[in-house]
Each structure stands twice: as structure tokens, then as C-alpha cells.
Amino acid sequence: MPEQGRFTGRAAIVTGAARGIGAATAARLAAEGAQVLLADQAPEVMAQAEALGGVGLRIDLAARGAGEVVVDTALDAFGRLDILVNNAGIGGSKPLLESDDDLIDRFIDTNLKAVLRLTRAAIPHLARPGGRIVSVSSTFGIAGYPGTTAYAVAKAGIAQMTRQLAGELAPEGILVNAVAPGVIETAMTKGHLGNDYYRRAVLEPTPLRRAGTPEEVAAVIAFLASADAAYVAGQVIAVDGGWLAARHPPREAG
């Protein structure tokens, strides 16, 4: 741990930290001095936490009461709470007409309700001033993209929660922001990245012409969680290789 990192003396919760963007974020915050609680339902979260010198908590965040358990665990371990990173989520949504009740419940419960509940549990305990909430939305929660309705609606909800709470909490010294990743190479996208349709529909239109890495998203989350973002509130920052701003048309055949 560096002697004086941006997060020295700060305590953070990172959800979905067993792998992917959450693991990279927990590692980045810890490397810059934070004490980190890594919360995830996957058993790998315990080893991940140990490797970072953090605290691991295996929990299904979609269950009622989970938010309170996560916050109490962080307070017991660290005695304070400065940063909440709402990252846990599931992918693989379907067109709405193919989405049964269970699928809709799963996406809204995990990707939206769990975020609202954990955030509600954390707010009373966040440092004032200096508290930070950074949530992971998606480019699909900003631009319409066919076939992902339940996922996209949940991610749009996170973006709106961010604007809503930014206005309520900035006067108390708590900054609320979000990132909207594009295609990032993680377990969530592994199945699609080799798929020709996905490559043509999503990767080729991306001005940077490649998928992003979890570390590239973690760097922006860390910025938003830090004092460097002292005058940023209510923003949903795309980390998408330029996809939202300047999608390229398909290349001509041949």
C-alpha cells in the first residue's frame, strides 16, 4: 500500500468484486490506500479480498436486507464509510417479448432494486463531506439498443438514481456519479466477443475499434471516487471507446 494514496484513510464498499470491473475497481482503490469491503455472491470473492488485504463478504445482493448486512459489515470492519461502488450486475437480457416474469424480476431485482436498497442503507453512514457513490450503469442504459430491454431499463434506472441523489446529497458533501461502460472484456461479454454479429454490431462501430478492459473502467470509477472529482456531481460518464458519441456506420462490404 502506498504511504499517501488518493484513498489513504478511506473505507470503501465495492459490489460484484469477485471478478471483472468490480475486482479491478477494488484492486485500484486498495492500491491507492483504501480499506475495501468486497461483496459478491461468488465464492471467489473471499480469495480476491485476501489478495488485496481487504474484507470479503459472500452475499446475494438481490435478497431483501442484504444492503444493511453489507453496510454493517463495512462499519464493523473499518469504523467508517467513505465510498460506495455499486457495480454488481448480471447480463444476458432478451427482447421483451421473450422475457418471462422470472427474467424481468431477475434483472430488475439484481441490477436495480439491489442498488437502490444498498445505496439507501449506505447514505446515512457516508462521510460528510467527502462521501462518494459511484454506480455502474451502461451505454445500453443511455442509448436504445435492440434486444436488451430489461437490462437497459435497470441501467437507465441507475443513471436516473445518480442524477436524483446527486441533487439531494451534494449539499451534504456527498457526490453521486456513475460510469456507463461500453463493451468491456469480462466474463459477462466473453461469450459474445468471438461472435461475428456482435463484432460487427458493437465493436466495429466503436471508434477505438476494440473492447475496453476492466482496469480502464476502474480508473474512471477511482477518479469519480477521489478528491480529483470534487466538482463533479450527477454525471454518467461513458467509458466506451467513443461508441455513444460517434458510432461509426458499418463498413462497406468487401
Ligand X SMILES: NC(=O)c1ccc[n+]([C@@H]2O[C@H](COP(=O)([O-])OP(=O)(O)OC[C@H]3O[C@@H](n4cnc5c(N)ncnc54)[C@H](O)[C@@H]3O)[C@@H](O)[C@H]2O)c1
Rounded CA separation 175/170 (Å): 5
**Out of 151, 197, 198, 231, which one is annotated catalytic?**
151
| 31 vs 215, beta carbon nearer ligand X | 215
Q: Judged by CB under 6 A, which of 13, 14, 74, 88 binds ligand X?
A: 88
Give the nearest distance from C-beta 29 to ligand X in angstroms. Answer: 15
> Interhelix angle for 20-31 vs 214-225, to 10°?
50
Question: Cα 213 to chain center, whole Å?
Answer: 14
| 127 vs 223, beta carbon nearer ligand X | 223
Please report which helix (H) or strand (E) contains residue 40, including its range: strand 35-40
Residue 184, interface with ligand X (CB under 6 A)?
Answer: yes
Q: How wide is the angle at C-alpha 168 spanned by C-alphas 138 and 214, nearest 5°?
A: 25
Rounded CA separation 228/74 (Å): 24
Q: Kindly indicate which of the ranges 11-19, 126-134, 164-172, 222-230 contains the residues binding ligand X, using the contact rule CB under 6 A.
A: 11-19
Residue 238, interface with ligand X (CB under 6 A)?
Answer: no
Rounded CA separation 76/11 (Å): 11
231 is catalytic: no
Residue 20, interface with ligand X (CB under 6 A)?
Answer: yes
Q: Could you give the residue numbers annotated as active site? A: 151
Binding footprint of ligand X on the chain (CB under 6 A): 16, 18-22, 40-42, 60-62, 87-91, 110, 136, 138, 181, 183-184, 186-189
